[in-house]
Amino acid sequence: MDYTEIGLKVGLEIHQQLNTGKLFCRCPALIQEEKPDFEFKRKLRPVASELGKFDPAALEAFKKKFTYLYKYFNESNCLIEADEEPPKPMDSEALNTVIEISLMTESDILDEIHVMRKTVIDGSNTSGFQRTAMIALGGKIKLKNKEIGIQTIALEEDSAKTIEKKDNTIFYSLDRLGIPLIELATEPEIFTPIEAKETALKIGELLRRTCKTKRGLGSIRQDVNISIKEGARIEIKGVQELEMIDKFVEREVERQMNLVKLREELKERGIEKQELSMYKDKGVDLSLIFKDSDCKMVKEKKVFGTKIPKFNGLIGKELQEGRRFGSELANYVKAKTGLKGIFHSDELPKYGINEKEVNKVKEKLEVKKEDAFVLVVSEEKAKTALNIVIDRCIAALEGVPEETRNALSEGNTEYSRPLPGASRMYPETDIPVKKINKKKLEELKENLPLTPEQRKIKYINKFKISEQLAEKMKLNNYARFFEELAEKGFKATDTAVLLLEGLTTLKRQGIKTENLNEKMIEKVLIAVKEKKLIKDNQLKALSLWTKKKEKPFESILQELQEEQFSGEKTRNTIKEIINKNSAIINTQNANVFSALMGDAMIQLKGKASGKEISKILREELEKKGIK
C-alpha cells in the first residue's frame, strides 16, 4: 500500500494514568477489585454551553435516557468523586510530572494553569464534566528518521470505569475517577502505520522514564485520529496496546478505502439521496410472516422492515476483515437505540429464517432484484432504527462519515458516537488559576530523568550492579528511587534486588505493594543498615507495615526484634543442631557444612541473618575439627 499516494495522516492522543495521588482530592489512586462499600444512582442531562449550543455527542447520550449507578469505595473515594464537595487544588506531584514531560519534549510551558470543564454526559463523570488543564504546547519527539510535533500536553482527571450495561442502567466503578491522566497529542504528522507505532512506543517510553506512570492493562489508552485524502477524519478511542497501533491504522485505511469504493459503486448504480429518503418513516410491520418462524429471534416478535433501493449485494460488502457494511448499519442502530442489531437481505436466509419467509418479505416490501431490505425486531424503536439505517446509507453516497469509533480486538473498530463538537469546554470556577513556579521549573529542568541507555551505563559502571539487574531496573518505576538510594550509599545490588524481586514476591503473597511508599522502603533499608533489622526480615517488615499502616514503624521493628535471637541464642541453637547430627559429623563427609546449614536456616528463619548463621556454624564446626 502506498500510504503517501492515498494521503494518510495520523495523529495520536495518548492518555496515561499517573501513579500519584488523585488530581483534585487527596484520595490515593488505588484501583479496587473488592466489593464496593456502597452504591448510588444518578441521572444526567446536557447543559448548553455559554454559546447556547448543545454538544452533539452529549445530546446523543442524553437521548438514550440512561440511569447511572456508581460503586463507591471508602479507600479510594471521598465526597469529591461523588460530586458532593468542591475539588481541592491540583496534586503537585502529578503537575510536576507533566511539567517534566513537557520539558523532555521541549514544549512551551504555559505561565498559568487554567482548569477547564469538558462536558461528558455518558455518566462516566458524576459531575457531568471532566476537569482538564492545558500545561504545554508545541513540543516534539525524535524518531529514528524524523521528528513528530507535539501539539498539546494536558493534565486531566480520569473518568469512572464502565463495569456493565444492563437494560437502561450503566454501572460505573468510582475508584478510577479522578486519577491524574496526562494527555499528550501529536500533530497529524504521522504518515504510515509503522510510524504511528514507533511514535506511540517512543511516547510510552518517555512517559515511563518519569517513574510516575501507572502500569498494566488500562493504565495507558490512546485515541488515534486517522484520515486519508478521499476519506474523512475518524477518531478511534481506547486502543490499549501500543504494539497494536499500526494494525488499527492499517484496518482503518482499509475501511475508508472500501467505503470510497462503495461510494463509486453507488454512483455507478445511479442511486440518489432523494430516492433513499423516500423510504424514511415507511417501516412495514412484517410480524405475521415470522409468526411460526424457526428463528427464535423473530418468532412471535414485532418485526419491522424497509426496502433499501438498489443496495442489493452492497450491505454484505466487506469493509474490514470479518466486518461488512451491514456491521456498520447494525452498529449505528445499536449505538443510537440500544437494539441488538439488524437483519439484512444479503445475509438471509440464515439464523433459522428460511427462503420462504425471505420471499414473503420481498413481496411485501416490493423488493426487486437490485434492491435490499433491512429488518429490526422492535415495535417502539422500529421507526427510529430503520431511519438510522437509511441515513447511514445516504451517508455512504458521500463516502466516509466523520465519527468516533471504539477499538475492537484485532485492529477493527465500531461506531460509537459523532465527533464531539468544539463547544464543550468552559472554565472550572471552583479552582483558582495557578501560576507556574519558575524556581520549581528550573529545579525540574536540572533533574530530568535519564534515558534508559544512560541509566543502564550508570547502573553498571557507577553502582556496579549486574547487567541483568540494570536491564530490569532502567524502565522500572523505582529507577529514580534506586538512583537516589545508591547515591546515598545503600548497597546497590541489595537495593535493586529488594525493589525488583522483593516487592514482586510481596505482591504474589497478596500484599498491596501500591500502598508502600518510598519513605517506608527507605526506613526499612536504614534499619537493616543500622543492624536493627536482619536483612532476611526486610520483606516481613514491609508486609507487616502495609497491613498495619497506622502503627509507627518503630513498634513493627520492635516486634521483629523480639523474634530475632541474640548472638548467644543463635549460637546455642546451632550447637544443638550439631549435637543432634553427631552421626553425620562422624562420617567426616565433606558436605557436613551444607547439610547443617540448610537445617540451621530453617530453624533460625527470621531470627538471625544467613551471614551470621553461616559464620557461627563454621566456627562451631571448626571447634570440632571439621573444616
User: Which parts of this chain interact with Zn ion (CB under 5 A)?
Assistant: 25, 27, 78, 80-81
In contact, 200 and 242? CB cutoff 8 Å: yes
Q: Which is nearer to Zn ion, 89 or 567 (CB)?
A: 89
**Distance between CA 475 and CA 477 in Å, rounded?**
7
**Distance between CA 41 and CA 389 in Å, rounded?**
33
**Distance between CA 43 and CA 93 in Å, rounded?**
34
Q: How far is the CB of 277 from Zn ion (least distance, A)?
A: 51
Please report the DSSP string for 461-530 in residue order.
HTS---HHHHHHHTTSTTHHHHHHHHHTT--HHHHHHIIIIIHHHHHHTT--GGG--HHHHHHHHHHHHT
Strand partners, 140: 149
Q: How far is the CB of 37 from Zn ion (least distance, A)?
A: 13
Q: How far is the CB of 79 from Zn ion (least distance, A)?
A: 7
Q: How far is the CB of 545 from Zn ion (least distance, A)?
A: 24
Q: How far is the CB of 85 from Zn ion (least distance, A)?
A: 9
Q: Which is nearer to Zn ion, 156 or 403 (CB)?
A: 156
In contact, 449 and 100? CB cutoff 8 Å: yes
Q: How far is the CB of 455 from Zn ion (least distance, A)?
A: 34
Bridge-based pairing of strands 129-142 and 147-157 is: antiparallel
Q: Which is nearer to Zn ion, 47 or 78 (CB)?
A: 78
In contact, 311 and 265? CB cutoff 8 Å: no
Handedness of CA 267, 270, 274, 280 (dihedral sign): negative
Q: Which is nearer to Zn ion, 27 or 206 (CB)?
A: 27
**101 three-class SS:** helix
Q: Which is nearer to Zn ion, 36 or 56 (CB)?
A: 36
Q: Which is nearer to Zn ion, 78 or 585 (CB)?
A: 78
The C-alpha cell that represents 527 in the structure block: 534499619
Q: How far is the CB of 175 from Zn ion (least distance, A)?
A: 10
Q: Which is nearer to Zn ion, 8 or 80 (CB)?
A: 80
Q: How far is the CB of 560 from Zn ion (least distance, A)?
A: 34
Alpha helices per DSSP H over 233-354: 245-268, 273-277, 325-337
> What phi, psi does 567 have (nearest 5°)?
-55, -40
**Distance between CA 40 and CA 81 in Å, rounded?**
12
Strand partners, 306: 374
Q: How far is the CB of 64 from Zn ion (least distance, A)?
A: 28
Q: Which is nearer to Zn ion, 175 or 195 (CB)?
A: 175
Q: Which is nearer to Zn ion, 77 or 107 (CB)?
A: 77
Q: Which is nearer to Zn ion, 87 or 411 (CB)?
A: 87
Neighbours of 126 (CB within 10 A): 23
Residue 148's nearest CA partner among 119, 191, 103 is: 191
Q: Which is nearer to Zn ion, 55 or 156 (CB)?
A: 156
Q: How far is the CB of 88 from Zn ion (least distance, A)?
A: 9
Neighbours of 364 (CB within 10 A): 16
In contact, 39 and 67? CB cutoff 8 Å: no
Q: How far is the CB of 184 from Zn ion (least distance, A)?
A: 25
Q: Which is nearer to Zn ion, 82 or 134 (CB)?
A: 82
In contact, 209 and 449? CB cutoff 8 Å: yes
Q: How far is the CB of 58 from Zn ion (least distance, A)?
A: 25
Q: Which is nearer to Zn ion, 84 or 281 (CB)?
A: 84
Q: How far is the CB of 19 from Zn ion (least distance, A)?
A: 16
Burial readout 432-469 (b: 16 or more C-beta within 10 A, e: otherwise):
eeeeeeeeeeeebeeeebbebeebbeebeeebebeeeb
Q: How far is the CB of 515 from Zn ion (least distance, A)?
A: 16
**Distance between CA 72 and CA 489 in Å, rounded?**
44
Q: Which residues contact 305 (CB under 8 A, 6 or more apart)?
A: 283, 284, 286, 361, 364, 365, 373, 374, 375, 376, 386
Q: Which is nearer to Zn ion, 27 or 150 (CB)?
A: 27
**Distance between CA 377 and CA 393 in Å, rounded?**
19
